[in-house]
């Protein structure tokens, strides 16, 4: 975060998953005048009726009627929100959001979020936090489809080069959409990076087949074509 500020990157809210919801990070964020929204572990202690209670226990005292529906895109979330004192955040008062997708499930715990912006409504908190979703999908796509972890390099320079190439591949595979669509973007509409990777393989294979046919029509022998391919 400090490096992002040093680079003068424009941001006002820091988003993070539940592992990072700790006072040292929150304190550092607020010290530079930034806001934050984080996923919240279910076992965090909050102050309820003058007693420290785990969030998962507190939420079970909230009736289903207290949840309100919010439409975000094509999904409906049922949300309860309240300002509570959280022990691990230096006993700071934060807004806590409990969210179910589609409907309230009494036999399951909701997803929890917390933010320093106590005046924000639940819909704004969820909408803002959803901006973090591309980070989640990048982690899965880069490791699963782009060989982000499949390297055996010892020198830091080589490791960085491998990382940069993975990042570039991910950017080129992205469906950026008009009007800012890259001319190098993969053709067509795809649901996942894996599908885009397969589309690239199919496209390259098609180019190779056409090239072989062209060389054959030009009179080159199979051995000559093979020699060109292996040169």
The answer for residues whose C-beta is within 8 angstroms of residue 43's C-beta and 6 or more apart is: 54, 55, 56
Domain limits, the chain = 2-131, 193-230
**Cis status, amide bond into 179, omega within 30 of 0:** yes
Whether this prediction's pTM lies above 0.85 is answered by: no
Task: Residue 91: count other Cβ atoms within 10 Å of its Cβ.
Answer: 12
How far apart are the C-alpha atoms of 193 and 138, rounded to whole Å?
9
Cis bond before residue 165 (omega within 30° of 0) = no
* Residue 158, pLDDT above cutoff 80: yes
- pLDDT tens per residue, range 169-205: 887 776 544 333 333 444 556 666 777 777 878 888 9
CA 215-220-224 angle, to 5 degrees, is 105
Rounded CA-CA distance 71/69 in Å is 7
pLDDT at 67: 96
Cα(124)–Cα(128) distance, integer angstroms: 6
- What is each CA distance from 69 to 75, 78, 125, 131, in whole angstroms? 10, 4, 14, 20
Closest of 139, 40, 164 to residue 92, by C-alpha = 40
- State the pLDDT at residue 187: 52
Output phi, psi for 91, to 5 deg.
60, 35
pLDDT for res 181 = 38
- Which CATH fold would you assign to the domain 2-131? Transposase Inhibitor Protein From Tn5; Chain A, domain 1 (3.90.350)
The two tokens of residue 115 are 């933010």
Least confident among 5-19, 140-154, 213-227: 140-154
Asked if residues 133 and 116 have their Cβ atoms less than 8 Å apart, the reply is no
């Amino acid at each position: 975060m400090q490096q992002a500020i040093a680079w003068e990157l424009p941001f006002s809210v820091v988003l993070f998953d539940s592992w990072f919801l700790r006072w040292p990070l929150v304190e550092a964020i607020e010290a530079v005048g930034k806001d934050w929204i984080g996923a919240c572990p279910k076992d965090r202690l909050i102050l309820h009726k003058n007693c420290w209670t785990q969030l998962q226990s507190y939420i079970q005292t909230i009736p289903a009627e207290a949840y309100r529906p919010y439409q975000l895109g094509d999904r409906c979330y049922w949300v309860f929100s309240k300002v509570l004192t959280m022990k691990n955040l230096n006993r700071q008062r934060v807004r806590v959001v409990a969210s179910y997708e589609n409907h309230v499930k009494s036999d399951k715990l909701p997803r929890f979020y917390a933010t320093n912006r106590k005046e924000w409504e639940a819909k704004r908190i969820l909408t803002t936090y959803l901006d973090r979703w591309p980070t989640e999908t990048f982690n899965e796509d880069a490791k699963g489809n782009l060989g982000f972890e499949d390297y055996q390099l010892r020198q830091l320079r080589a490791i960085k080069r491998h990382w940069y190439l993975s990042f570039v591949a991910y950017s080129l595979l992205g469906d950026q959409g008009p009007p800012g669509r890259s001319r190098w973007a993969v053709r067509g509409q795809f649901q996942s990076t894996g599908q885009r990777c397969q589309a690239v393989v199919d496209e390259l294979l098609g180019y190779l087949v056409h090239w072989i046919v062209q060389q054959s029509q030009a009179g080159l022998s199979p051995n000559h074509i093979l020699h060109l391919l292996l040169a």
